[in-house]
Structure formats: structure tokens, C-alpha cells
Amino acid sequence: MSIHKPVLLEESLEKLNLKKGSVVVDATLGGGGHSLEILKRILPGGKLIAIDRDEEAIKNFKSKLKDLNIGLKKENLELVNDNFAGLGSILEALKIERVDAILADFGMSSDQLEDAERGFSFKKDAELDMRMDQNGKQTAREIINTYSQNHLEKILREFGEERYARKIAKAIILQRKIKPIEKTLRLAEIISSAVPGKYRRGKKHFAVKTFQALRIEVNNELENIKCFLPQAIDILKTAGRLAVISFHSGEDRIVKNLFKENARGCICPPKFPICRCGRKPRIKIISKKPIIPKCEEIEINPRARSAKLRVAEKI
């Protein structure tokens, strides 16, 4: 049974302008909350392509659908166990050229976070895994035990925005010389020993940023987003919309900059009397500023507090 609560649900679906019969991609199925509501809005006659690299997410969504009576037929849904970075190839294999809307929620599913065996959580003891795709080769355990101190510090600083990245990286190197670091709780203890007491007692758990940085590195998350977004814009029909929910400043920066780049027209120098580059804007940005969750949503689901929604429309 999924415990995941979809973030910015009403806001994202409203901005996608979904209609009966729309062809839609949910690039990040996760707990299936967004996908289920998309189906309700596009049936009958619509089609949803739901993608997730986590095979468990696909299985869980299939089980959820068995208990629901929403008029779903086989041709209305494609469940794809793959990485959204290959969006173009996925749709080509399904013989789908263009779609009406695309949604991507880059956040972690609560189901994954609460599954102790996956090693995403610093609150439950488990192997340091953190792979979204269980067929992936690199694990958090390998990163922790093989990366140099400089490399560890770099990913903690860049992907976790961890202010004590150097101290934590140094502590990891020292402790792994004594014994390999293989479990989540041992890593949390090492982080605790490396940061000041005030930081340990803060509102946000002291291990959050380190675990986030490791997860991003294990799953190559930022590079996947960079691959995905241009393909998403290409595949949209004219007036089709792309809605993206991010939780990390690095993710949001990629989305913001790519939207801005694709919304630009002429890039000729101002002194040129007429345009020579011939560049036309490909999208218009619907949300000039990111849409954030209401206080009521954050109160019900604290994990929503850092979510940002950006929306663009294909020209």
C-alpha cells in the first residue's frame, strides 16, 4: 500500500490543461498519485505513458489500479520501467510522435524513503544502497568507501549544499580506514560526530544533506534531468505543456535556465538592424516565478516544503 502523497497535485494538473482524450506522459510515476489523477481527467479516450526506473513503483501502481473502477482500458495506459532520460526512445518504441502534456516530479517517493532495505533513510539501519534502479551498478556504499576526500567533499557541497562538507568527508575517510562503512546508521553516526552540536539539534536532521547528495550521485539525477528536458520540449505538440516539480536548488536551476534559453528569440547583437540568426522561441514560460505549496499542504506533508513547480507551453 502506497503512503506517498503527491506534491502540488492540483496546481500541476490545472496548469497542464488536461482534457478528455489527451495523450500525457508522467515521466516519474513514483507513488502514482499524479498518474491516477491524470487518468481521471483524460478518460475516456486518453492515453497515459507512466515511466519509472524503479520496478517496484510499476508493480505497486498496477496493484493500486486493480482496486479502482475508473473505466481504464488496456489502450489507455502504458507503464514503462525505464529512465526518463531516454524519453525520446521510449515514445519512439511506443510509436508515439507527439503528446499533449508532460509532468515530471523529481522528488523521492515516500514509499522509497520508508523502505528500509533501499538504504535511502538515515533513520533505519540498512545497506548503503540508494539505487532507484536495482539493476544499477554503483551504490552509495561504493561511493563512501572508494571516493577520495576531495571528491566526497565536492558532491556533498554541490549536490547536498552541505556547509560542513569538508569535515564530514574527512570523518568518512578516517572511519573507513578502521572499517568499511556499509550501513546507513553508521554513516549517520559519522556525520553526527563531524558536525557541531547546534547543527545536530537543528530543525532539519543533520544527515539530510549528505544522504541527498549521495542519492543524487548514485542515480546521476542532475545529468538525467539535463537529458530529459530538451526531449520533453521536442515531443510536445504545439500548445502542449510541460510541468516540472523540483525539490533541490540544483534541479530547479537546470529547469529555470533551460526554460529561459528555449523561451528566447533573436540572439543577434543589439546593433544589428535586422535579425540574422533566425532564432525563434520554442516555448513560453507560464509560471514566471515558481509555484510553491500552500501552507496547508506543507502542514499535511512536510516533505513538500521545498517543492517548486515551473510550467512551460510549446509554441
Q: Cβ neighbours of residue 28 under 8 Å, at least 6 residues apart?
A: 51, 52, 84, 103, 104, 105, 106
For residue 236, which of 200, 181, 286 has the smallest C-alpha distance? 286
Beta bridge partner(s), residue 13 = none
Beta bridge partner(s), residue 310 = 244
pLDDT at position 179: 97
Residuewise pLDDT in 10s, the chain (315 residues): 455 689 999 999 999 999 999 999 999 999 999 999 999 999 999 999 999 999 999 999 998 888 788 878 999 999 999 999 999 999 999 999 999 999 999 987 766 666 667 888 888 899 999 998 888 889 999 999 999 999 999 999 999 999 999 999 999 999 999 999 999 999 999 999 999 999 999 888 999 999 999 999 999 999 999 999 999 999 999 999 999 999 999 999 999 999 999 999 888 888 888 888 888 899 999 988 999 999 999 999 988 999 999 999 999
How wide is the angle at C-alpha 216 spanned by C-alphas 168 and 117, nearest 5°? 85
pLDDT at position 110: 65
DSSP-assigned letter for residue 242: E
Distance, in Å, from the CA atom of 274 to the CA atom of 53, rounded to the nearest integer, reads 47
Distance, in Å, from the CA atom of 199 to the CA atom of 284, rounded to the nearest integer, reads 42
Domains, the chain, ranges and CATH?
A: 9-111+221-314 (3.40.50.150), 116-219 (1.10.150.170)
DSSP-assigned letter for residue 256: H
Strands, E assignment, 230-307: 236-246, 283-285
DSSP-assigned letter for residue 248: S
Number of other CB atoms surrounding residue 94 within 10 Å? 12
pLDDT at position 168: 98
| C-alpha cell of residue 259 | 526554460
Helix (H) or strand (E) segment spanning residue 49: strand 47-52
Q: Helix-strand-coil percent breakdown of the chain, rounded to 5?
A: 50, 15, 35
